[in-house]
């Protein structure tokens, strides 16, 4: 049994402009100690998926499908169930470390509060645990920082505090929603390496939501690409980067400016913009922006189909990735050459 | 010889700070400290650095949006501080800015047609109604917006479209310099490439010079001919982009380049990660000597004592004790 099993998850909102399906029939599994990256543009449903798992969607969201965490069904679970799980078994790291911390409490007291609420640990024992976790997420000089307020810390340091808060109870699952997007690139590199070290050490599973494929490359074992609320491709990280099967995945990879490539060439972009979720086209949602699209794409919506041992893709004109998948499975280094 | 379009000579912007620490002595934040560069007509200069390095403050000096403490900001050879109101109006026509937040930059109560037209009303009142309408329609087409959208309001547009409106608004008065302050940072990757390509095309078409500010060196790399690297308000390196990206000279530039993640797990997980230790020091109390030394992987004893002077190297200048002449740079492997 996987730690997290999401099956046919849908999230929709009734609006004046009609029914908006923010997440549409999304399924995936996450094993213990692994890291899954959910990638997509704004409005692709990646954050909504995350919030649905944590039970943090607003009251007007209609959720269907199933989210099983450690075998327990979370869709429709009571507030009490979530209150027990959140923090202790499922923790969350948000994008903006500036607003996610309580401004009038010191870093130390926020860390200790978590221990008090969930375990009843107080006093020096709590303080010791807090300092320990601060050290683990590489906060330099934890003794001094323990008594500081969030505003006295830099953005990178605050995000480390957020990660410490998420990890202090050793949760089985951490949901990280764009954890490095608000940070400088130098600080981002450090936060990524902190995450990597912590996952290896504690065996926590990580669900990483990001629009940055570079961050995914550094952290994730597998990747799920979302577009307009649907999963368009799912694959192990090595394979998806070596040979993307969906034209959208390929385009996302190609439009990244890369410092390891010669400069001067024109940047590749994806024409147009993401569709209106209240008025999705009948066929493939990506078809209007897709270079491979033809008449059938406008008529028929593609479904997720297997295109390799651990891969699925939803495209009528998917690139053949089976050969690349096979070779990368055998020897990862062979793909790079 | 005519003076360059824009020249900054040893520009300093210092802000006094009030607060706990300032009570005893008059503390100042040196937001920009001794920055010099020239920008010729039609060229692009990229300014890169982390948050708080003074990139935006530097740009704001051009339009007198912040008071300059010392040095000179020369626009066509004239110091902008000495300009009278009339000359300032001309300057505001000639230097246009595109900011980071596409929607917040647009007045929500005006239609996008009115927004793009507004600079013409201000700076070209001699044009008649029809000429203005035609100019707006042409500009809409040029930035890739459908002409029938002129009656819409900004909130009806996506971020990328709003940024197109901002660009149209900036360029309709035929400015000589476009200042892009993190103009693509808030956009999704797929849209970012569209807008960058649009900016590059428009620059070729109109011959406008461009000051491109970004924290992202990979974006700077795509658009700039020359690159200025700032750290805590000070210039670390200022060189031709070709030379800089081929062989970054300053350890900070090297660190910035190394920090950008590569979207390929095989490369990303196997390459050495030399992360910068610690955080940006407080700009109120910057380190002695070289301001970068506290995070520099190569710093030596001299770095703590003497502030490194600017030295000329292949394609520009660098401020680092560890780099001597241009020859030794090229010998580096």
Select from A273, A289, A331, A337 the residue whose CB has the most chain B CBs within 10 Å, as the one to mutate to test that interface: A273
Asked whether the beta carbons of A259 and B260 are under 8 A apart, the reply is yes
Tell whether the model's pLDDT for residue B5 goes beyond 50.
yes
Closest partner residue to B275 among A190, A220, A268, by Cβ?
A190
Closest partner residue to A252 among B50, B190, B261, by Cβ?
B190
Strands A311-313 and A305-308: antiparallel
Contact flag A269-B160 (C-beta cutoff 8 Å):
no
Tell whether the model's pLDDT for residue A138 goes beyond 50.
yes
What gap in Å lies between CA A39 and CA A45, rounded to an integer?
Answer: 10
Interface of A with B in 201-220 (CB under 8 A): 211-218, 220
Strand partners, B298: none
Mean pLDDT, range A116-130, rounded to an integer: 93
DSSP string, A224-281: EEEETTEEEEEEEHHHHHHS--SHHHHHHHHTS--TTS-SSSPPP---S-PPPTTS--
Mean pLDDT, range A13-32, rounded to an integer: 92
Q: How confident is the model at residue A35 (pLDDT cuts 50, 70, 90)?
A: very high
Instruction: Report chain A's mean pLDDT, rounded to a whole number.
Output: 88
Q: Which two tokens mark B315? A: 């394609």
- Give the residue extent of every domain in chain A: 4-220, 227-258+282-336
What gap in Å lies between CA B312 and CA B299, rounded to an integer?
Answer: 20
CB contacts of A211 in chain B (<8 Å) are 188-189
Return the pLDDT at A322. 53
Report helix, strand or coil for A188: helix
A157 touches B at CB < 8 Å? yes
Right CATH number for A4-220 from 3.40.50.150, 3.40.50.620, 3.30.413.10, 3.40.50.300? Answer: 3.40.50.300
Shortest distance, CA A28 to any CA of chain B (angstroms): 21
Tell whether the model's pLDDT for residue B333 goes beyond 70.
no
Tell whether the model's pLDDT for residue B130 goes beyond 70.
yes
More confident residue, B71 or A189: B71
What gap in Å lies between CA A148 and CA B282, rounded to an integer?
Answer: 16
Report helix, strand or coil for B37: strand
> ipTM greater than 0.90, yes or no?
no
What gap in Å lies between CA A12 and CA A3, rounded to an integer?
Answer: 25
A232 touches B at CB < 8 Å? no
Q: Which two tokens mark B30? A: 């040196």
CB contacts of A186 in chain B (<8 Å) are 50, 255-256, 259, 275-276
Mean pLDDT, range A108-122, rounded to an integer: 94
* Conformational region of residue B249, where left means phi above 0, alpha means psi within -120 to 50, and beta covers everything else: alpha
What gap in Å lies between CA A53 and CA A91, rounded to an integer?
Answer: 11
Q: How confident is the model at residue B332 (pLDDT cuts 50, 70, 90)?
A: very low
As to burial, measured by CB atoms within 10 angstroms (0-12 exposed, 13-18 middle, 19+ buried), residue B111 is: middle
What gap in Å lies between CA A335 and CA A238, rounded to an integer?
Answer: 9
What gap in Å lies between CA A200 and CA A143, rounded to an integer?
Answer: 25
Nearest to B65 by CA among B37, B31, B104, B17: B31
Contact flag A185-B192 (C-beta cutoff 8 Å):
no
Residue-wise pLDDT tens digits, A141-171? 899 999 999 998 888 889 889 999 999 999 9
More confident residue, B214 or A191: B214
Q: Which two tokens mark A94? A: 């948000």
Residue-wise pLDDT tens digits, A168-222? 999 999 999 988 887 888 888 888 888 888 888 888 999 999 988 888 998 999 9
Q: CA of B224: how far to CAs of B181, B209, B211, B213, in Å?
A: 14, 11, 9, 10
Q: Is the dihedral of CA A207, A209, A211, A215 positive or negative?
A: negative
How far is CA A331 from its chain centroid? Answer: 27
Contact flag B263-A211 (C-beta cutoff 8 Å):
no
Asked whether the beta carbons of A212 and A185 are under 8 A apart, the reply is no
Angle of helix B85-94 relative to helix B112-123, nearest 10 degrees, comes to 140
Asked whether the beta carbons of B255 and B276 are under 8 A apart, the reply is yes
What gap in Å lies between CA A63 and CA B97, rounded to an integer?
Answer: 44
A154 touches B at CB < 8 Å? yes
Nearest to A174 by CA among A8, A2, A4: A4
Non-local CB neighbours of B228 within 8 Å, separated by 6+ positions: B35, B37, B45, B46, B47, B48, B235, B237, B238
What gap in Å lies between CA A10 and CA A17, rounded to an integer?
Answer: 19
Strands A173-177 and A205-210: parallel
Return the pLDDT at A14. 93
Q: Which two tokens mark B314? A: 């292949």
Tell whether the model's pLDDT for residue B25 goes beyond 80.
no
Residue-wise pLDDT tens digits, A230-255? 999 999 999 999 999 999 999 999 88
- Counting Cα atoms < 13 Å in the Cβ hemisphere of B276 gives 27
Strand partners, A244: none
Residue-wise pLDDT tens digits, A304-332? 999 888 999 999 998 875 544 444 433 33
Tell whether the model's pLDDT for residue B201 goes beyond 50.
yes
CB contacts of A260 in chain B (<8 Å) are 262, 267
What gap in Å lies between CA B20 and CA B18, rounded to an integer?
Answer: 7
Mean pLDDT, range B261-268, rounded to an integer: 83
Q: CA of A121: how far to CAs of A111, A117, A124, A128, in Å?
A: 11, 8, 9, 11
More confident residue, B261 or B252: B252
């Amino acid at each position: 049994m996987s730690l997290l099993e999401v099956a046919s998850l849908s999230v929709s909102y009734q609006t004046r402009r009609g029914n908006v399906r923010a997440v549409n029939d999304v399924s995936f599994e996450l094993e213990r100690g692994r890291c899954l990256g959910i990638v997509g543009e704004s409005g692709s449903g990646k954050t909504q998926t995350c919030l649905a798992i944590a039970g943090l969607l607003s009251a007007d969201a209609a959720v269907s499908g199933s989210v099983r965490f450690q075998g327990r069904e979370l869709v429709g679970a009571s507030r009490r169930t979530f209150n027990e799980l959140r923090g202790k078994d499922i923790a969350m790291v948000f994008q903006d470390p500036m607003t996610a911390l309580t401004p009038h409490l010191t870093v130390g007291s926020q860390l200790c509060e978590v221990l008090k609420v969930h375990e009843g640990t107080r006093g020096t024992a709590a303080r010791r645990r807090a300092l320990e976790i601060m050290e683990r997420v590489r906060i330099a000089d934890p003794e001094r920082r323990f008594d500081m307020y969030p505003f006295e810390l830099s953005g990178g340091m605050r995000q480390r505090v957020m990660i410490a808060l998420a990890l202090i109870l050793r949760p089985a699952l951490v949901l990280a929603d764009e954890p490095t997007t608000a940070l400088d690139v130098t600080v981002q590199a450090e936060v990524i390496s902190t995450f990597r070290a912590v996952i290896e050490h504690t065996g926590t599973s990580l669900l990483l939501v990001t629009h940055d494929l570079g961050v995914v490359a550094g952290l994730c074992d597998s990747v799920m690409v979302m577009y307009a609320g649907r999963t368009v491709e799912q694959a192990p990280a090595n394979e998806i980067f070596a040979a993307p099967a969906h034209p959208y995945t390929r385009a996302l990879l190609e439009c990244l400016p890369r410092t390891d490539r010669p400069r001067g060439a024109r940047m590749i972009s994806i024409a147009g913009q993401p569709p209106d979720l209240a008025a999705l086209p009948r066929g493939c949602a990506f078809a209007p922006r897709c270079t491979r699209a033809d008449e059938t794409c406008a008529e028929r919506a593609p479904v997720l189909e297997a295109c390799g041992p651990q891969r699925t893709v939803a495209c009528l004109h998917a690139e053949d990735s089976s050969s690349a998948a096979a070779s990368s499975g055998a020897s990862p280094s062979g793909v790079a050459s | 010889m005519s003076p360059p379009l824009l020249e900054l000579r040893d520009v300093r912007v210092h802000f006094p700070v009030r607060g706990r620490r300032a009570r005893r002595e008059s503390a100042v934040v040196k937001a920009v400290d001794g920055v010099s560069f020239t920008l010729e007509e039609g060229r692009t200069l990229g300014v890169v650095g982390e948050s708080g390095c003074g990139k935006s403050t530097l740009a704001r000096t051009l339009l007198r949006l912040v008071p300059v403490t010392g040095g000179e900001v020369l626009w066509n050879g004239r110091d902008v501080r000495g300009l009278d109101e009339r000359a300032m109006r001309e300057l505001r026509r000639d230097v246009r800015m595109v900011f980071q937040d596409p929607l917040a930059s647009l007045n929500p109560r005006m239609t996008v047609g009115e927004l793009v037209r507004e600079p013409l009303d201000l700076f070209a009142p001699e044009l008649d109604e029809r000429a203005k309408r035609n100019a707006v329609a042409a500009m809409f087409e040029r930035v890739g917006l459908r002409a029938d959208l002129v009656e819409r309001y900004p909130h009806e547009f996506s971020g990328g479209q709003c940024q197109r409106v901002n660009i149209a608004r900036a360029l309709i008065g035929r400015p000589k310099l476009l200042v892009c302050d993190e103009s693509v940072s808030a956009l999704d990757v797929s849209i970012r490439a569209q807008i960058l390509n649009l900016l590059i095309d428009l620059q070729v078409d109109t011959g406008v010079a461009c000051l491109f500010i970004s924290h992202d060196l990979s974006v700077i790399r795509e658009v700039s001919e020359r690159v200025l690297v700032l750290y805590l308000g000070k210039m670390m390196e200022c060189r031709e982009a070709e030379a800089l990206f081929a062989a970054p000279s300053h350890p900070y530039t090297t660190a910035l380049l190394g920090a950008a993640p590569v979207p390929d797990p095989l490369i990303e997980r196997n390459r050495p990660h030399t992360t910068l230790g610690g955080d940006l020091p407080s700009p109120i109390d910057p380190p002695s000597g070289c301001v970068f030394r506290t995070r520099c992987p190569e710093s030596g004893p001299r770095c703590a004592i003497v502030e490194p002077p600017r030295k000329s190297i292949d394609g520009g200048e660098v401020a680092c004790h560890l780099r001597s002449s241009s020859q030794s740079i090229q010998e580096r492997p």
